[in-house]
Amino acid sequence: MAIQKPKGTIDILPGQSEKWQYIEEISRMVMSDYQFHEMRTPIFESYDLFSRGVGETSDIVSKEMYDFLDKKNRRMALRPEGTASIVRAYVENKLFGPEFNAPYKVYYMGPMFRYERPQGGRQRQFHQLGVEVFGSNNPATDVETMALAMDLFHQYGLKEFKLVINSLGDITSRDTYRSALIAYLEPFTEQLSTDSKARLHKNPLRVLDSKDKGDREIVKDAPSILDFLNEESLQHFEMVKTMLEALEIPYEVDSTMVRGLDYYNHTIFEIMSDAEGFGAITTLCAGGRYNGLVEEVGGPETPGFGFGMGLERVLIALDAENVEIPNINELDVYVVGLGEESNIETLKLVQAIREFGFSAERDYLNRKAKGQFKSATKLNAKVVITIGEAELESQTANFKVMKTGKQETISMKELYKNFDKVYNLQTTDMTAFNDFFNKED
């Protein structure tokens, strides 16, 4: 039997890869507007980075890691998320130093790996676009970063999504809340799922995040973290809301929302799709503030804010909203070469056209004119240049603009020398221009 791809992975084929390029291109443009710079870190790291950075009790580390021993028995892992690696690189390269502009703002884009049960919008190798900001406690950083995420979705052409925010407060607020939550959950211990039971004392906030139906019923009436925020945490959260309003960004507050990762505090947020037919899993993007993580990984006390966006889910949203993706791989010229004798001239001409910066394609199978024209139409070529026996003889070519049907004979010499000028002249639609002058007459 032929070998198949690993479960939970996909081949992104031509026809689909253009959609990825579209998203990637827009993302890079938006990142530049916000002055975020790209950072590329290794796809695998030491296991300990994630167990420390993401948290031992998280689903990601406890169940979903692709970890392995290398040939020298070092425990390694394929990265399940981006933040821990970026923080490691930030610390290891001392990017907190005075020669670097603070806040330090980076983004990453690439594959992540989690051993999960594959389903729509959930794969074992998937792709995230994420950003991290280091060194700012200003709530404006929280809001600008959320605005950036919202802006990305707008620029992709999506309309039906919403921003949901919450605050986990600072460590003091979180500790007070933690005790209150344990006190609330303890009487339900026996009814909780096995996972939640194990987390009840280790990390009770995680119980709020449980997807188990029974757990969800129990946590429905749990105390709200927002009632436990101390003065400082409350002030930060109020300022975040005021600033979102100043930018006229609509949002909802969901006090039961906690994020799966251990390191969050203060503002956390998710962006969810509202699109009909999106499917059950609607979170496209999630993130928040993580003061404390840089220290955890061995760096100086540094506030952080970031998010991770699932690109497969962005693609599902684009489909669900029927967003039209522009063709970024257009064909300018198809060269029809007729007969074996035209092979070398065709070869030279497509290369010359490409060197002028236009895209060009040709036939390689010595097909008849009809078959070649069919390909040109299918590829949506804007221009078809034909070289037949007569043209070879006279060193000319037939230049046809497909949209208008306009044809002209052009000398080969002119094509090789001034292709750009010929192309622009021939393809310029003169109808509007002529209409205008005819009217003036």
Query: What residues make contact with ligand ATP under the rule CB under 6 A?
Result: 81, 114, 116, 121-123, 126, 128, 260, 281, 283-286, 308, 310, 312-313
* Minimum CB–partner distance for residue 298 and ligand ATP (Å): 22
E strand residue ranges, 60-214:
67-69, 75-78, 104-113, 125-134, 161-167
Which residue number, 86 or 333, has a Cβ lying nearer to ligand ATP? Answer: 86
At 270, the amino acid letter reads E
Give the whole-angstrom CA distance, residue 269 versus residue 240: 11
Give the whole-angstrom CA distance, residue 302 versus residue 295: 7
At 316, the amino acid letter reads I
Apex 146 CA angle, 175 and 80, nearest 5: 70
Tokens of 284: 């496209």
Which residue number, 108 or 373, has a Cβ lying nearer to ligand ATP? Answer: 108
| Pairing status of strand 407-411 against strand 396-401 | antiparallel
* Minimum CB–partner distance for residue 375 and ligand ATP (Å): 37
Which residue number, 123 or 291, has a Cβ lying nearer to ligand ATP? Answer: 123
* Minimum CB–partner distance for residue 226 and ligand ATP (Å): 21
Tokens of 156: 């992709």
Residue of closest CB approach to ligand ATP: 310
* Minimum CB–partner distance for residue 288 and ligand ATP (Å): 9
Which residue number, 161 or 373, has a Cβ lying nearer to ligand ATP? Answer: 161
Instruction: Please list the alpha-helical segments (H only) found in 170-230.
Output: 171-185, 194-202, 205-208, 213-219
* Minimum CB–partner distance for residue 155 and ligand ATP (Å): 17
* Minimum CB–partner distance for residue 270 and ligand ATP (Å): 7
Give the whole-angstrom CA distance, residue 176 versus residue 403: 70
Which residue number, 318 or 381, has a Cβ lying nearer to ligand ATP? Answer: 318
Give the whole-angstrom CA distance, residue 87 versus residue 96: 11
Give the whole-angstrom CA distance, residue 205 versus residue 161: 26
Which residue number, 121 or 139, has a Cβ lying nearer to ligand ATP? Answer: 121
